[in-house]
């Protein structure tokens, strides 16, 4: 119920925020040579001649039931879920998002798997070697990795891996169903660039949580019972310390699903982040509104999923 309420408030704020801009959206639908009659006709086609509350209700109706733009012989339909129509690109915003979203999903999921596996494994190893040279070396490396911005890492990857050493061809995105090898060659560097940044954080977080839980009484009891060290670490120490890790992982993944803007731009990936940047530079208000709503929805849904996962991770938490 709270999620539905938050999504409703989010839709209102998103719609009002971009429709309260002191600019005439109808004037932006065509070039400088547009006549006043053409601008007025586009205003009617987009429904911008209606009061703001009517525009919002039509927008919400379009999401669930579709909507019709224009009137008379100049009408055209936008099927549900209709997030608006981009006159800049001459197509429905929903279609633009559906084209860009798979690229962002591939990017986010691939990087997520890399940084979770690498970050948690390294964090556990550093906790087991607390105070030794391995621990200090890992913490020093993670400090460097966490301090470097993702655009710097991405540019270094391109310069050395692609330009200097010619290990990989220059990124040129195609779908995995078109050419799997080219898809992997294009995505591996973006995945690594994001994974380096996030894995550094998750290594430090996992190490901190492991050290906190390994000093608890139930850990000493498990060891006194003769349980193998791997069992103690995996089933007792790690599980007890997973709550903040899951919280961060859910929100970070949702943030990337909303568009990894810098990474997509560096590697030329036609994802949601690049679509949003293009909409901003072209002042394409329907696309800006839709991409903002989609990105924020990912965050809200991720919060709900993370809350539900707490009950599965920590036996002290119950859904009731």
CATH, residue 256? 1.10.3720.10
- How far apart CA 208 and CA 179 sit, in angstroms, is 42
Residues 114 and 211 placed together within one structural domain of the fold: yes
Close Cβ partners of 83 (under 8 Å, ≥ 6 residues apart): 62, 63, 92, 93, 94, 97, 286, 289, 290, 293, 294
Residue 168 has pLDDT above 70, yes or no: yes
Q: Are residues 146 and 256 in the same domain?
A: yes
Q: Tell me whether residue 224 is in a domain.
A: yes
What is the number of structural domains in the chain?
2
Whole-angstrom distance, CA of residue 154 vs CA of residue 160: 10
SS percent in the chain: helix, strand, coil, step 5? 75, 5, 25
Same domain, 148 and 270: yes
Asked if 110 and 246 sit in the same domain, the reply is yes
Q: Which of 82, 112, 133 is the last residue of a domain?
A: 82
- Give every CB contact of residue 69 below 8 A, 6+ residues apart in sequence: 45, 46, 47, 75, 76, 77, 78, 85
Tell me: do 206 and 144 sit in the same domain: yes
**Residues facing residue 86 across a β-bridge:** 91
The parent domain of residue 300 ranges over: 98-313
| Per-residue pLDDT, 177 | 92
Which residue from 276, 115, 299 is spatially nearest to 190, judged by alpha carbons?
115
pLDDT tens readout for residues 34-88: 778 887 877 777 777 888 888 888 888 888 898 887 666 667 788 888 888 887 7
Q: 118 and 61: one domain?
A: no
Given pLDDT bands bounded at 50, 70 and 90, which one contains residue 229?
confident
Would you tell me how many other CB atoms lie within 10 Å of the CB of residue 8? 11
The verdict on 67 and 108 lying in the same domain is no
Looking at residues 111-121, what average pLDDT do you find? 94
Does 242 lie in the same domain as 123? yes
pTM, rounded to two decimals? 0.87
Rounded CA separation 223/238 (Å): 15
From CA 182, how far away is CA 196, in angstroms rounded?
Answer: 22
């Amino acid at each position: 119920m709270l999620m539905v309420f938050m999504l409703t408030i989010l839709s209102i704020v998103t719609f009002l925020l971009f429709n309260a801009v002191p600019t005439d959206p109808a004037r932006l639908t065509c070039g400088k040579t547009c006549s006043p009659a053409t601008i007025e006709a586009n205003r009617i086609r987009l429904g911008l001649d209606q009061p703001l509350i009517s525009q919002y209700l039509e927008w919400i109706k379009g999401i669930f039931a579709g909507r019709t733009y224009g009137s008379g012989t100049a009408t055209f339909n936008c099927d549900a879920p209709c997030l608006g129509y981009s006159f800049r690109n001459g197509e429905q915003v929903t279609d633009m998002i559906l084209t860009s979203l798979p690229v962002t999903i591939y990017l986010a999921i691939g990087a997520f798997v890399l940084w979770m596996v690498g970050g948690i494994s390294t964090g556990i190893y550093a906790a087991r070697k607390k105070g030794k040279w391995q621990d200090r070396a890992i913490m020093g490396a993670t400090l460097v990795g966490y301090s470097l911005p993702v655009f710097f890492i991405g540019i270094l990857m391109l310069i050395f891996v692609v330009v200097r050493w010619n290990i990989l061809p220059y990124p040129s995105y195609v779908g995995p169903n078109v050419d799997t090898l080219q898809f992997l060659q294009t995505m591996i560097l973006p995945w690594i660039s994001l994974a380096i940044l996030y894995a550094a954080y998750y290594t430090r977080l996992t190490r901190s949580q492991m050290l906190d839980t390994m000093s608890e009484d139930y850990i000493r009891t498990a060891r006194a019972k003769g349980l193998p060290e791997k069992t103690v670490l995996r089933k007792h120490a790690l599980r007890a310390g997973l709550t903040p890790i899951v919280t961060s992982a859910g929100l970070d993944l949702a943030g990337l699903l909303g568009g990894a803007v810098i990474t997509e731009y560096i590697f030329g990936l036609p994802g949601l982040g690049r679509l949003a940047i293009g909409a901003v530079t072209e002042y394409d208000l329907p696309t800006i509104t839709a991409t903002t709503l989609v990105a924020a929805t990912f965050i809200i849904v991720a919060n709900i999923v993370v809350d539900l996962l707490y009950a599965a991770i920590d036996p002290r938490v119950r859904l009731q």
